[in-house]
Amino acid sequence: MLVIGLDVGTTGTKAIVVDEKGTVLSSGYQGYALISREGCVTQNAEDWWDAAVRAIRIALQSVKTSDVRAIGISTQGASMLVARSDGTPLSPVITWMDTRAKKEAAVLSDTIGQEAVYHKCGWLPNPSLDAAKILWMQKHDPTIFAAADTFISTLEYINLKLTGNNCIDPTNAAIRQLFNMESGTWDTEILSLLGIFAERLPKVLPVGSIVGTLTKEAAAALGLSTEVTVYNGAHDQYCASIGSGAADTGDMLLATGTTWVVLGITDRLLYTDNHICPGIHPVQGKYGAMASLVSAGSALNWYKDIVNADFLTIDKEAATRTLDAKDLFVLPYVLGAGFPHNRTDLRGAMFGLDAGHDRYHIARAVMEGVAFEASIVLEQFAAQGMRIGKLMMTGGAARSDVWSEIVGYVTGCEIYRPSEPETCCLGAAMIAFVGMGIYDDFNACRNAMVKSRKLELSDSGMYDFYHEKGTRYRALIQKLL
């Protein structure tokens, strides 16, 4: 029995075919474009579907298609499409990176209140989220606003294309800033401000619910049977937490992409003064608490490009420059300072540079700066009473031994790295396996399917080294602020 785990991301779609033991038998990938102009960042929804078809067909080339029984889905969040009832687009997708709706986000704050919005959906008013974008469309494109049968995001569009049914899950609904997590329904106060009714939004179903079976058109496009069942998926970071094995209270996911995301598992919705983002976790009775570092992987990507280096060389050389870089610091805010500083206007700085430093000393200091920022985030979680246990590290930095070790020494956490790097896809597949009843719950599924390796940190002196350097780093932040 095989399942497809599909991850429809920001710049591409990945698909894996996996069995009930967690063995990934094959995979496929197809990328697509972002269209950027003056704060507007859009996509074509048709590209999502074309990439899903292509990725799945590539993955199916080396397996028996009749053994595929189900599809689970992971998606980017808060990329909004205005559509007909069947999902036909009426305009380009306004992605989660789009910031055109700044004035509308301010209206949301002024009318309903920042704290009120935060306690409804877990997110502060934000131009990148769908509430502000719908209000923008009402004001700036009233013809399209009036013609829209439905306002949907990535998960609903893929569900519609696969099954004809317009469904979303609570993790994606909340990040759209339209959903009230306490009531479990679309929020009437926010919708009233936007001038829409719940009938123009998708149905909210729990993660793992049956969305439907493949339509004849979808089955033909994918080369699969119409008996294949589609299970309601989740936001990609929540899928990554499942796929990395973060399912118990105190487990922490550190997803290290362009933006680094910390997602902790809690026993309650965690509302905080510094606005950690709470959410309803797919694991029954559990909740998520999320915070983001926007200047993280993006900082090393920026540096790699300007010095014309590659990641493998950076890793190799940075590993030998620990002590020589002990007085070199990089505050890596190339895109502003994320949580808990929340200063989009702040920019980075370098301290302690001398003629004895080369490009790889600086690269190591960039890695350390990002690790220090991750440690500050974890301290904020701990201050809320969260018991921080394992740190499940996924993404690009998890493939770097030197960066993973720096994170381990700086945070003092046990670092686990999943054997399967595509944790979003694996989490989506696990949602389908639990939905099918192959496993009773996510804990049983995790124990059977998720394999990870603990990072061995053998140099005990490095903990003291980074404690002292981290103290100096924090002092520099205060000077910059």
480 — pLDDT class (breaks 50, 70, 90):
confident
Secondary structure letter of residue 337 according to DSSP: B
- Record the tokens describing residue 227, joined without a space: 């008996």
What is the rounded distance in angstroms from the CA atom of residue 293 to the CA atom of residue 333?
Answer: 9
Please state the pTM of the whole predicted model: 0.93
Residue type, 427: G
Residue corresponding to tokens 């929540």: 238
The whole-angstrom separation of Cα 136 and Cα 129 is 11
Q: Report the range of poorest mean pLDDT among 33-47, 73-87, 110-124, 377-391.
A: 377-391
Tokens describing residue 398: 């998890």
Which pLDDT band holds residue 74 (cuts at 50, 70, 90)?
Answer: very high
Count of beta carbons in the 10 Å neighbourhood of residue 4: 30
Other beta carbons within 10 Å of 241 = 33
Going along 205-363, which residue ranges are E strands? 210-213, 229-235, 252-256, 260-266, 277-280, 287-293, 329-331, 349-351
Q: Return the axis-axis angle of helices 236-244 and 423-436, rounded to nearest 10°.
A: 80
Q: pLDDT averaged over the chain?
A: 95
Report the sign of the C-alpha dihedral through residues 208, 213, 217, 223, in that order. Answer: positive
Q: Give percent of the chain above pLDDT 90.
A: 90
Q: Which of 97, 224, 215, 202 is nearest to 152 (CA)?
A: 202
Provide the pLDDT for residue 248. 87
End-to-end CA distance of the chain, in Å?
55
- Asked if pLDDT for residue 386 goes beyond 90, the answer is no
Tell me how crowded residue 35 is: count the other CB atoms within 10 A of its CB.
Answer: 12
Identify which of 296, 371, 360, 365 has the alpha carbon closest to the alpha carbon of residue 334. 296
User: Mean pLDDT, to the nearest integer, of 420-437?
Assistant: 96
Mean pLDDT over 286-298 rounds to: 93
Instruction: Provide the CB-side half-sphere exposure for 263 (13 A, CA).
Output: 31
Quote the tokens at residue 476: 């520099």
Tokens of 297: 């992987």
**417 CB-near residues (< 8 Å, 6+ apart):** 392, 393, 394, 398, 404, 452, 453, 455
Q: Which residue has the higher pLDDT, 479 or 109?
A: 109
Shortest CA distance to 25 belongs to which of 58, 54, 52, 74?
58
pLDDT in tens, 75-93: 999 999 999 999 999 999 9
Give yes or no for residue 389 having a pLDDT over 80: no
Note the pLDDT of residue 460.
86
Our CA dihedral for 145, 146, 147, 153, rounded to 10 degrees, sits at 40
Please report the pLDDT score of residue 160 as a whole number: 98
For residues 205-224, one letter each, b for 16 or more C-beta atoms within 10 angstroms of the residue's C-beta and e for the rest, the string is: bebbebbbbbbeebbebbeb
- Asked if residue 15 has pLDDT above 80, the reply is yes
Cα torsion angle, 330, 333, 335, 338, sign? positive
Confirm if 426 and 450 have CB atoms less than 8 A apart. yes
Question: Which residue blocks in 62-179 are alpha helix, DSSP H?
Answer: 102-111, 114-121, 130-140, 142-147, 154-163, 170-175
* DSSP secondary structure, 244-281, as one string: HT--STT-EEEEESSSEEEEEEESS----TT--EEEE-
Instruction: Quote the Cα angle for 230-235-236, to 5°.
Output: 95
Residue type, 185: T
